[in-house]
A = this chain, B = another copy of it.
Amino acid sequence: MDNSVRIGVLGASGYTGADLIRLAALHPAIEIASVTANTYAGKTMAEVFPHLSFISLPRLTKVEDADWSKVDAVFCGLPHGTTQEIISEILTENPAVKVVDMSADFRLRDPETYKTWYGHEHRAPKLQDEAVYGLTEHYREAIKDSRLVACPGCYPTASLLALLPIVASGEVVADDIVIDAKSGVSGAGRSPKQNTLFTEAGEGLSPYAVAEHRHAPEIEQEVSKVAGRSLYVNFTPHLIPMSRGELCSIYVRLEGGATAADLRKTLSDAYAGEPFVHVLPEGTLPQTQAVRGSNHVQIAVFADRIPGRAIVISTLDNLVKGSAGQAIQNFNLMFGLTETTGLGQLALFP
């Protein structure tokens, strides 16, 4: 693969890292040169993820043992908080490298907000300032020119794709947005925890982190930016007994006589020609099953029974368009490749 882009994957033992590799393995212009995972250093990927045993991959190393001078791009799937210093070092020592960060470390633009939600000062504030927010459809041009893209969280991706056009158009009241979010269990990661055991999360559902989830300030940051004023959103996530998939039911108050049909048209216009964002015709129901494993997003709009309100529902796969897939979409832009390269996989259904 002469013209391949050589990539390194930081945090390859987590679900986002693994899904990045699953997708990268089918990407015609990617060569996976390095995979790191400190806990599993020395092991093969096949030992850590049997479903990746059928392709040839480098052995896992510690972050500090990877040779970043030999890669063109780094995908980062580390837990939040650990990413900023590592990325900072890599970029300092290897200025030609481009970074696609799937962690939460560079998403929030405001250092104070970061500190409030993550409990410490940001350790790479200059990079935080430089990073481009990787919501592809809304930051496409900036992403093309960036060397550090902070891919949005899964919930923010689903919420913002639905909200930004209709907030920008002034058709909904920006500070009265209720987001009832539902996610599969993979969003909680691969570290063993009691509440994500099969026996605990199966055959039942529960809300969690009600009104205090870290994706709330991220959504607020972007909605505020488009609304032109600082505001709060309701964000209430629920843990659903499925492994993948995410659906946000967003309840909005209409402004200036707008109707559900108006919102649908605004969204359809905004995403006309987009390869991955699909606004459904009236009456068609979105479902996570339709996008599971793919980079596609469905958005639908419904009239509310309460006059002057509407319902906007968006769905995506939290590990793909909500993480690794959007990361590759951004990577393609950053390297001048066709945006859809390597992202042709359809949902695995049933």
Contacts and interface: CB of A to CB of B under 8 A. Distances in A.
A244 to B, nearest CB: 7
A261 interface: no
Interface in A224-261: 232-236, 238, 240-245, 247, 249, 251
Contacts of A242: 202-205, 241
Main secondary structure of the interface of A (DSSP, over half): loop
Given A240-B241, A313-B207, A232 B289 contact: no
A210 B348 contact: no
Nearest to A185: B198
Nearest to A276: B54
A197 B203 contact: no
A201 interface: yes
Contact of A291 (B51, B191, B233, B311): B51
A339 interface: no
A302 interface: yes
B210 A294 contact: no
Interface residues of A, number: 88
B211 A304 contact: yes
A206 B350 contact: no
A180 B193 CA distance: 28
Interface stretch (A3-11, A18-26, A67-75, A122-130): A18-26
Interface stretch (A30-38, A98-106, A109-117, A280-288): A280-288
A143 to B, nearest CB: 22
Copies in the complex: 4
Interface in A39-60: 49-55
B194 A194 contact: no
A292 interface: yes
A309 to B, nearest CB: 6
Nearest to A220: B305
Given A192-B192, A349-B18, A180 B249 contact: yes
Given A203-B244, A232-B305, 9 more contacts: A26-B344, A51-B290, A197-B198, A202-B203, A204-B242, A205-B287, A205-B288, A233-B306, A293-B348
Interface of A: 15, 18, 22, 25-26, 49-55, 175-178, 180, 182, 184-186, 190-194, 196-208, 210-211, 216, 232-236, 238, 240-245, 247, 249, 251, 278, 284-294, 296, 298, 302-307, 309, 311, 313, 315, 344-350
